Structure 1
Amino acid sequence: MSSILRILRATKELTPFYVGIMLCAILTSASALIAPFVIKGATDTVVAYHNGDQSRGLSVIVWFAVAYLASQLLNTIFNNVGGYLGDVMSQRMRTSLSVRYFDKLLSLPLSYFDEELTGTIISRLNRTITEIARFIQMFSNTMSSMLITTVAVLAISGWYYWPLAVLLIIIFPVYLWLTSRTSVKWQVWETEKNQDIDAASGRFNEVIGQIRVVKSFGQERRELGLFSKLFHRTIGTTQKQSRYWHLMDIYRLAFLNIMFFVLYLIIFVRTIQGFFSIGDMVLLIQLMTMAVAPVTSLSWIVDATQRAIAGSQDYFKVMEHPADPRSLAITAEGEHSQEPEPVKAAPGEEIIRFHNVTFGYEGEEDVLHDIDLSIKRGEKIAFVSESGGGKSTLMALLEGLYDPRTGSVTVDGMDIVGGDLEKLRSQIGMVFQDASLFSGTIAENIAYARPGATEDEIEQAAIKANADKFIRGFKDGYQSVIGERGLKLSGGQKQRIAVARAILKDAPILILDEATSALDTKAERAVQKGLDELMVGRTSLIIAHRLSTISAVDRIVTLRNGKIEEIGSPTELAQSGGIYSELLSLQNSSTKQDKKRLQSFDIVG
Structure 2
Amino acid sequence: MRSILRILGTARELWPYYAAIVAISLALAATGLLTPFIIKSATDYVVAANQGQTIGLSRVVWLAAALLAAELANTLLSNVGGYLGDTMAAKLRATLSGKYFAKLLALPQRYFDDELTGTVINRLSRSITETTSFLNMFANSFFQMVLTVAAVLAITAFYSWPMAVLLAVIYPIFLWLTTITSSKWQVLEAEKNREFDIAGGRFAEVVGQIRVVKSFVQERRELATFAGRYDRTVRTTQEQSRYWHRMDASRRAALNVIFFAIFAILFVQTARGVFTIGVMVLLIQLVTMARQPVFSMSFLVDSSQRAIAGSRDYFTVMDEPVEVDALAAVTVRTSDDGRVPAGIDFESVSFGYPGGQDVLSEVTFSIRAGEHVAVVGESGGGKSTLISLLLRLYTPSSGVIRIASTDAADLALAELRADIGVVFQDPALFSGTIKENIAYATPDAGPDEIVAAARSANAHEFIERFADGYDAQIGERGIKLSGGQKQRIAVARAILKDAPILILDEATSSLDSKSERLVHEGLEHLMADRTTLIIAHRLSTISSVDRIITLKDGRVDEIGTPEHLATTGGIYAELLALQASATKRDRRRLQEFDIRP
- After TM superposition, the score normalised by the length of structure 2 is 0.97
Match of 1:388 in 2: 380
Match of 1:423 in 2: 415
Q: Do structure 1's residue 339 and structure 2's residue 336 form an aligned pair?
A: no
Assess, with a 3 A threshold, how the Cα gap between structure 1 residues 83 and 480 changes in structure 2: closer, same or farther: same
Residue 12 (structure 1) shift: 2.2
Residue 396 (structure 1) shift: 1.1
Conserved 8 A contact 2:372-2:531:
yes
SS of the counterpart of 1:253? helix
Conserved 8 A contact 1:359-1:406:
yes
Whole-angstrom distance in 1 between the partners of 2:354 and 2:336 = 34
Whole-angstrom distance in 1 between the partners of 2:358 and 2:184 = 43
Match of 2:52 in 1: 52
SS of the counterpart of 2:474? coil
What letter corresponds to residue 448 of structure 1 in structure 2?
Answer: Y
Match of 1:370 in 2: 362
Residue 526 (structure 1) shift: 2.9
Whole-angstrom distance in 2 between the partners of 1:188 and 1:343 = 58
After superposing on structure 2, the runs of 4+ consecutive aligned residues of structure 1 that deviate more than 6 Å are 341-347
SS of the counterpart of 1:552? coil
Conserved 8 A contact 1:339-1:450:
no
Over the aligned positions, Cα root-mean-square deviation in angstroms equals: 1.6
Conserved 8 A contact 1:328-1:421:
no
Whole-angstrom distance in 2 between the partners of 1:118 and 1:15 = 33
Conserved 8 A contact 1:343-1:412:
no
Moved more, 516-525 or 386-395: 516-525
Conserved 8 A contact 2:39-2:282:
yes
Conserved 8 A contact 2:488-2:522:
no
Match of 2:348 in 1: 356
Aligned counterparts, 1:206-355, within 5 A? 206-328=205-327, 336-339=330-333, 351-355=343-347
SS of the counterpart of 1:367? strand
Q: Do structure 1's residue 203 and structure 2's residue 199 form an aligned pair?
A: no
Match of 1:528 in 2: 520
What letter corresponds to residue 339 of structure 1 in structure 2?
Answer: R
Match of 1:546 in 2: 538
Residue 343 (structure 1) shift: 9.7
Residue 523 (structure 1) shift: 2.7
Output one character per residue of 1:431-466: Cα deviation in whole Å (capped at 9) or x when no partner.
001110100111111111111112222122222222
**Of 593, 597, 602, which residue of structure 1 is paired with 2:585?**
593
Whole-angstrom distance in 2 between the partners of 1:365 and 1:182 = 46
What letter corresponds to residue 232 of structure 2 in structure 1?
Answer: R
Aligned length: 597
Moved more, 371-380 or 407-416: 407-416
Residue 583 (structure 1) shift: 1.2
Match of 1:29 in 2: 29
Match of 1:42 in 2: 42
Whole-angstrom distance in 2 between the partners of 1:376 and 1:353 = 8
Match of 2:8 in 1: 8
Conserved 8 A contact 1:101-1:319:
yes
Output one character per residue of 1:124-147: Cα deviation in whole Å (capped at 9) or x when no partner.
111000000001001111110000
Output one character per residue of 1:15-38: Cα deviation in whole Å (capped at 9) or x when no partner.
111110010000000001001111
Conserved 8 A contact 2:433-2:474:
yes
Aligned counterparts, 1:157-168, within 5 A? 157-168=156-167
SS of the counterpart of 2:151? helix
Whole-angstrom distance in 2 between the partners of 1:446 and 1:518 = 21
Whole-angstrom distance in 1 between the partners of 2:355 and 2:178 = 43
Whole-angstrom distance in 1 between the partners of 2:209 and 2:171 = 54
Match of 2:69 in 1: 70
**Of 465, 472, 475, which residue of structure 2 is paired with 1:483?**
475
Q: Do structure 1's residue 582 and structure 2's residue 574 form an aligned pair?
A: yes
Whole-angstrom distance in 2 between the partners of 1:341 and 1:28 = 65
Residue 340 (structure 1) shift: 5.3
Moved more, 127-136 or 544-553: 544-553
Whole-angstrom distance in 2 between the partners of 1:328 and 1:560 = 36
Output one character per residue of 1:382-428: Cα deviation in whole Å (capped at 9) or x when no partner.
11111121111101111111110001111123322242112111111
Conserved 8 A contact 1:341-1:427:
no
Output one character per residue of 1:108-160: Cα deviation in whole Å (capped at 9) or x when no partner.
00000001111110001110000000010011111100000000000000000
Q: Do structure 1's residue 456 and structure 2's residue 448 form an aligned pair?
A: yes
Residue 586 (structure 1) shift: 1.4
Identity %: 58
Output one character per residue of 1:296-341: Cα deviation in whole Å (capped at 9) or x when no partner.
1110110001000111111110011111123236xxxxx6433359
Assess, with a 3 A threshold, how the Cα gap between structure 1 residues 561 and 307 changes in structure 2: closer, same or farther: same
Conserved 8 A contact 2:330-2:415:
no
Residue 525 (structure 1) shift: 2.2
Residue 73 (structure 1) shift: 1.1
**Of 428, 434, 449, which residue of structure 2 is paired with 1:442?**
434
Output one character per residue of 1:486-508: Cα deviation in whole Å (capped at 9) or x when no partner.
11112222111111111111111
Which blocks of at least 5 consecutive residues in structure 1 are unaligned? 330-334
Match of 1:190 in 2: 189
Which blocks of at least 5 consecutive residues in structure 2 are unaligned? none
SS of the counterpart of 1:417? helix
Match of 1:473 in 2: 465
Residue 534 (structure 1) shift: 2.8
Moved more, 118-127 or 464-473: 464-473
Output one character per residue of 1:525-579: Cα deviation in whole Å (capped at 9) or x when no partner.
2332232233222111111222121111111111111100011111111111111
Conserved 8 A contact 1:326-1:419:
no
- After TM superposition, the score normalised by the length of structure 1 is 0.96
Match of 1:89 in 2: 88
Moved more, 469-478 or 149-158: 469-478
Whole-angstrom distance in 1 between the partners of 2:539 and 2:371 = 18
Conserved 8 A contact 2:484-2:516:
no
Whole-angstrom distance in 2 between the partners of 1:174 and 1:342 = 75
What letter corresponds to residue 364 of structure 2 in structure 1?
Answer: D
Whole-angstrom distance in 2 between the partners of 1:542 and 1:481 = 31
Whole-angstrom distance in 2 between the partners of 1:494 and 1:389 = 27
Conserved 8 A contact 2:34-2:70:
yes
Whole-angstrom distance in 2 between the partners of 1:342 and 1:6 = 47
Match of 2:169 in 1: 170
Match of 1:98 in 2: 97
Assess, with a 3 A threshold, how the Cα gap between structure 1 residues 476 and 341 changes in structure 2: closer, same or farther: closer
SS of the counterpart of 2:343? strand
Whole-angstrom distance in 2 between the partners of 1:345 and 1:443 = 24
Q: Do structure 1's residue 509 and structure 2's residue 511 form an aligned pair?
A: no
Match of 1:143 in 2: 142
Residue 43 (structure 1) shift: 0.9
Output one character per residue of 1:77-131: Cα deviation in whole Å (capped at 9) or x when no partner.
1111111111111011101100000000011000000011111100011100000
Whole-angstrom distance in 1 between the partners of 2:310 and 2:414 = 34
Assess, with a 3 A threshold, how the Cα gap between structure 1 residues 22 and 341 changes in structure 2: closer, same or farther: farther
What letter corresponds to residue 49 of structure 1 in structure 2?
Answer: A
What letter corresponds to residue 582 of structure 1 in structure 2?
Answer: E
Q: Do structure 1's residue 109 and structure 2's residue 112 form an aligned pair?
A: no
Residue 345 (structure 1) shift: 10
What letter corresponds to residue 499 of structure 2 in structure 1?
Answer: A
Match of 1:332 in 2: none
What letter corresponds to residue 326 of structure 1 in structure 2?
Answer: D
SS of the counterpart of 2:358? coil
Whole-angstrom distance in 2 between the partners of 1:50 and 1:72 = 27
Conserved 8 A contact 1:172-1:295:
yes
